[in-house]
Structure 1
Amino acid sequence: MSELIPAKEYLGKLKEATEFVKAKVANEPRLSSPRVMIICGSGLGGIADILHSPQPKIEIPYADIPGFRTSTVPGHSGKLIFGLMGSNKVPVMCMVGRLHFYEGYSFQDTTFPVRLAKKLDIETVVVTNAAGGVNAQFKPGDLMVINDHINMPGLAGHHVLRGENLEEFGPRFQPLSDAYDYALRKLFFTKARNELKITRNIYEGTYFFAAGPTFETRAEVRMIRMLGGDSVGMSTVPEVIVARHCGMKVLALSLITNACVGDSPPSAFDENPVPMDSGMASHAEVLETADEASKDVQKIIEATVNAL
């Protein structure tokens, strides 16, 4: 289990990062007080393309920000982008490329940007991800609004709030029965169906957080399904927990990029077995499916944020 940075040192790094970012956006008053943070999942970095501003959007590479880690995953460009979204010009900070536990980073590292968002007085966090469809009803390209989660690493002792509690952000024992804001979920569905007339399947369900980086085995898929998971992925939950610990409202969305294989593997005694790689997940498939659905995701998120 990775060593934790002492709270005093962590808060010092956070203060330095906050001051650095504030200085970068200080010359554009409309961008200096963002109200919404959007975390772009695999293949969904195009969400930042719908930001607009009277000046060029402000882009800050992670590598330039004190205390920030860099993203190492294909499809994650690794920068904060500040701009305005929608006709109401809502000031937004986009995190284009998230940080993952499986990259070797601690949860303190992966959720550092969320704490930064709180320091910037951001009120709402929109979290997107690419996920595998565990629910047999889900097909690649479907969307799932998250209404609950199962934090498997957290249940096993790798919890994002482990260690000294940061009292200035939230309580020692954070309730999570209201983690995914009802009003935001309702708004998302209303905008998608009534205003934009999106025909893509949109469900609600439970997200299962697995540490990764391997995709799940067949037996693990059956276990996740039995435990109540509808989608599975390697992110989101640590960010959501920290956002709630900071008192921010959360809307979270899974883009289903592949159907998880849960059938038992072919037996060595079978004469004509189904190929072992039938339905096998790949990161390339994740990015391809995300690209196809990204335009709908962008439209719905823009309409939702515009109403905040």
Structure 2
Amino acid sequence: MVLGSGLGSLVDRMEVDSSVPFAKAGLPASGVPGHQGEFVLGSFAGREVIVMRGRVHLYEGHDAKAVTAGIRWMAENGIEGVVLTNAAGSLAPDLPPGSWMRIDDQLNLTGTSPLEGGPNFVDMSEIYDACWRQQITDVAAARKLELGAGVYAGLRGPQYETPAEIRMLRSLGATAVGMSTVLEAIQAKALGLRVVGLSCLTNFAAGMPQAVLDHGDVVETGRAAAAGMLEVLSDWLGGQGG
């Protein structure tokens, strides 16, 4: 699992065996509040997991290879699938701050790829595993957690988008926008891993009514919304997930 801004509390529910700081695994350290920058190994809901507590980003000055090094490290250590979570801005009036969205597809608008450097022509027709998406949707419904679904647009950042950029993204079919995840999903797919993505919608995007764009609010909204999704992930992993 990769935990985005404000979602690190999942680790508190793990049976932890060990932790590895990013630096010791050969990754850049994360410099963003809400991203602790370590791998945590142990079990959650009775399943062996590696949790990437935080991530690094293009906007911190890293390239696509460095941003996705954590996915490769986890794959080298035996994972078969990955749950990618993030904090994102909502472009949909019916998905307000504090709600969750299942990522069905993505727009990579970062201008780069972790697969650069060779003819790595990987099929991206279905990055996000259809079976896992349905399973999580069913578990969320049983938990009475409303789970939206849509397209995640990944941009480079670090500035938030302008209202004109949000109008452009909406015309391209985006439902949510953020500064992570898309490169990790590409790397995971290229490695043959199963992928599921979940966005915690922490704010409305620029130009929308009641839009508030502040990283502190993003982290706090993520923390407040985390509890319901932790229950869903626990039920999924402990039951039919996999």
Extract unaligned runs of 5+ from structure 1: 1-37, 166-171, 264-273
* In the alignment, structure 1 residue 183 sits paired with structure 2 residue 131: yes
Supply the distance in 2 between the matched residues of 1:305 and 1:239 (Cα, whole angstroms).
Answer: 21
TM-score, normalisation: structure 2: 0.95
Supply the distance in 1 between the matched residues of 2:30 and 2:68 (Cα, whole angstroms).
Answer: 13
From 220, 230, 237, the counterpart of 1:298 = 230
Pairwise CA distance, 1:222: 0.7
Extract unaligned runs of 5+ from structure 2: none
Pairwise CA distance, 1:142: 0.9
Supply the distance in 2 between the matched residues of 1:294 and 1:300 (Cα, whole angstroms).
Answer: 10
Pairwise CA distance, 1:304: 1.7
Higher strand share goes to which structure?
A: 2
Deviations, residues 20-49 of structure 1 (Å, cap 9, x unaligned)? xxxxxxxxxxxxxxxxxx000000011122
Pairwise CA distance, 1:57: 2.9
Supply the distance in 1 between the matched residues of 2:81 and 2:222 (Cα, whole angstroms).
Answer: 23
TM-score, normalisation: structure 1: 0.75
Residue 227 of structure 1 corresponds to 172
Residue 107 of structure 1 corresponds to 64
Deviations, residues 202-249 of structure 1 (Å, cap 9, x unaligned)? 111000011010111111111111110000000000000000000000
Supply the distance in 2 between the matched residues of 1:41 and 1:99 (Cα, whole angstroms).
Answer: 10
One-letter code aligned to 2:64: F
From 80, 84, 94, the counterpart of 1:137 = 94
Pairwise CA distance, 1:300: 1.0
Residue 49 of structure 1 corresponds to 12
Q: Where in structure 1 do 4 or more consecutive aligned residues deviate above 3 Å?
A: none
From 9, 20, 41, the counterpart of 1:82 = 41
One-letter code aligned to 1:97: G
Larger Rg: 1
Deviations, residues 269-305 of structure 1 (Å, cap 9, x unaligned)? xxxxx9xxx6331001101111111111111112222
One-letter code aligned to 1:50: R
Residue 73 of structure 2 corresponds to 116
Q: What SS does the corresponding residue of 2:50 show, helix, strand or coil?
A: strand
One-letter code aligned to 1:247: G
Percent same amino acid at aligned positions? 35
Supply the distance in 1 between the matched residues of 2:125 and 2:10 (Cα, whole angstroms).
Answer: 29
Residue 19 of structure 2 corresponds to 59
Q: Which structure ranks higher in relative contact order (CA pairs < 8 Å, sequence separation ≥ 6)?
A: 2
Cα-Cα RMSD: 1.5
